[in-house]
Amino acid sequence: MNPMIFTPELKKRADQISANYPVQRAAALPVMRLIQETYGAISGEAELEIAEYFQIPPADVRELMTFYTLFYSKPKGKCHIQVCRTLSCNLLGAQKLIKYLEEKLKIKVGETTSDGQFSLDQVECLGACEIAPMAQVNKDYLGPLTKEKLDQILSLNYAGKIQV
Ligand code: FES
């Protein structure tokens, strides 16, 4: 295979990451993060190249892709909203917030708006139960959330850190 994803620069960075681990394949997650941050997502082609780089079956990479919600096959919107649906957040109304977002954005969980501005996902506990119900919006943890606070996030066309 002629690598399209692992450019010489990316391969060098992947090698540097792998050198920190006693077994090369243990670096699969950070290298996958590197690929995703570089390309915005991990395509099917990228999965194959990752498997080849680590000399593991492509099914192993697919398993990591499906197990960890932080990896995705298609780029997410500019504002990526990941609402926690686990116990604390659920008891405090996460499902209502998800439904509200679906109605406001006119998309379902797992989808991106046609203008590429917003993506909506639901995820398991993000370890921030003290601010339940909460969501990760891009890299920030925001909560406790209400419909009003979600409106604020949506109207700001979220692109950076805000306080809610
Ligand atoms: S249950 Fe939502 S952050 Fe823990």
Domain 79-155 has CATH 3.40.30.10: yes
pLDDT in tens, the chain (164 residues): 567 999 999 999 999 999 999 999 999 999 999 999 999 999 999 999 999 999 999 999 999 999 998 899 999 999 999 999 999 999 999 999 999 999 999 999 999 999 999 999 999 999 999 999 999 998 899 999 999 999 999 987 655 555 54
148 contacts 110 by C-beta, under 8 angstroms: no
pTM score, two decimals? 0.82
Report CA(56)–ligand 1 centroid distance (Å): 33
> Selecting from 1.10.540, 1.10.375, 2.30.30, 1.10.10, what CATH number does the domain 8-67 have?
1.10.10
Q: What CA–CA distance (Å, rounded) separates 37 from 153?
A: 23
Type of residue at 52: E
* Ligand 1 center–CA 126 separation, angstroms: 5
User: Is the separation of the CB atoms in 119 and 41 below 8 Å?
Assistant: no
The domain limits of the chain are 8-67, 79-155
Is the CB of residue 88 below 6 angstroms from any atom belonging to ligand 1? yes
Q: Would you say the CB of residue 128 lies under 6 angstroms from ligand 1?
A: yes
Answer yes or no: is the C-beta of 84 below 6 A from any ligand 1 atom: yes
Q: For the beta carbon of residue 104, count every other beta carbon within 10 angstroms.
A: 14
CB 133 within 8 A of CB 86: no
